């Protein structure tokens, strides 16, 4: 019985400033989530799932979120957040002001829209292919990564249509447990109250 745990990194400084992308550290609240994660998993793990591997992106905020977990860890570049290209480090308001046409185009077709010098959701899905392949071979994995990347992984296991996938809600400080079954994937959402 395999189990895939998904989590965004804890709240980052950029999350607080409402900026996208970047490589900022966790905020104080984000660090609280990191310290709570160990017990949150322990409370929800079954005996046969003890053997957990933790996969993070190469970015500071996911590694900081994993720092207190007593499991083996692996960093994947393919788990880094969707590259916003020239918009990296901006707020959505700034993007709308500086690149109004791009902002509109993204809203109209978020799956296909590719940031100038960056990526689309489709691009992320393609680079995730080796991660998904390895995931299919593993038993129990906790993936700590980013909003857009998690939407793609979630959509893959839950059969969410690609046009809807960029809009799936993946809140901060919430563990998502996926248990793939013959008849469909069972989902449990566990909120960390911090």
- Which CB atom, from 151 or from 177, has the smaller least distance to ligand F6P? 151
The reply, when asked if residue 14 is annotated as ligand binding, is yes
The number of beta carbons lying within 10 Å of the beta carbon of residue 35 is: 13
The 8 Å CB, 24+ separation contacts for 24-29 are 24/60, 24/61, 25/60, 25/61, 25/64, 26/61, 26/64, 26/65, 29/194
The reply, when asked if residue 13 is annotated as ligand binding, is yes
Dist. CA 141–CA 79, nearest whole Å: 14
The reply, when asked if residue 10 is annotated as ligand binding, is yes
- The catalytic residue among 17, 49, 64, 81 is 81
Q: Catalytic site residue 15? A: yes
Q: Catalytic site residue 96? A: no
Q: Catalytic site residue 44? A: no
- The catalytic residue among 61, 127, 151, 173 is 61
- The catalytic residue among 106, 127, 146, 151 is 146
Residues lying near ligand F6P in the complex (CB under 6 A) are found at 20-21, 81-82, 84, 146-148, 166
To ligand F6P, the closest distance from the beta carbon of 61 in angstroms equals: 9
Query: How large is the angle between the packed helices 129-137 and 147-158, nearest 10 degrees?
Result: 60
CA-based torsion, 170, 144, 95, 162: positive or negative: negative
To ligand F6P, the closest distance from the beta carbon of 149 in angstroms equals: 8
Tell me which residues are annotated as active site: 8-9, 15, 61, 81, 146
List, as residue ranges, the binding site for substrate: 8-15, 61
């Amino acid at each position: 019985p395999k189990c895939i745990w998904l989590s965004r990194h804890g709240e980052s400084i950029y999350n607080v400033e409402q900026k996208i992308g970047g490589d900022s550290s966790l905020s104080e609240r984000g660090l609280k989530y990191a310290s709570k994660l160990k017990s949150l998993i322990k409370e929800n793990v079954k005996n046969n799932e003890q053997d957990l591997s933790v996969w993070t992106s190469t970015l500071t905020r996911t590694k900081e979120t994993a720092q207190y977990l007593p499991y083996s860890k692996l960093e994947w570049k393919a788990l880094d957040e969707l590259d916003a290209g020239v918009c990296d480090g901006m707020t959505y308001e700034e993007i709308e002001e500086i690149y109004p046409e791009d902002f509109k185009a993204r809203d109209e077709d978020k799956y296909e829209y590719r940031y100038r010098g960056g990526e689309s959701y489709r691009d992320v899905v393609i680079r995730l292919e080796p991660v998904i392949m390895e995931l299919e071979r593993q038993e129990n994995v906790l993936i700590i990564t980013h909003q857009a990347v998690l939407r793609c992984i979630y959509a893959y296991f839950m059969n969410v249509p690609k046009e809807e996938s960029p809009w799936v809600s993946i809140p901060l400080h919430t563990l998502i447990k996926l248990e793939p079954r013959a008849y469909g994937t069972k989902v449990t959402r566990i909120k960390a109250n911090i």
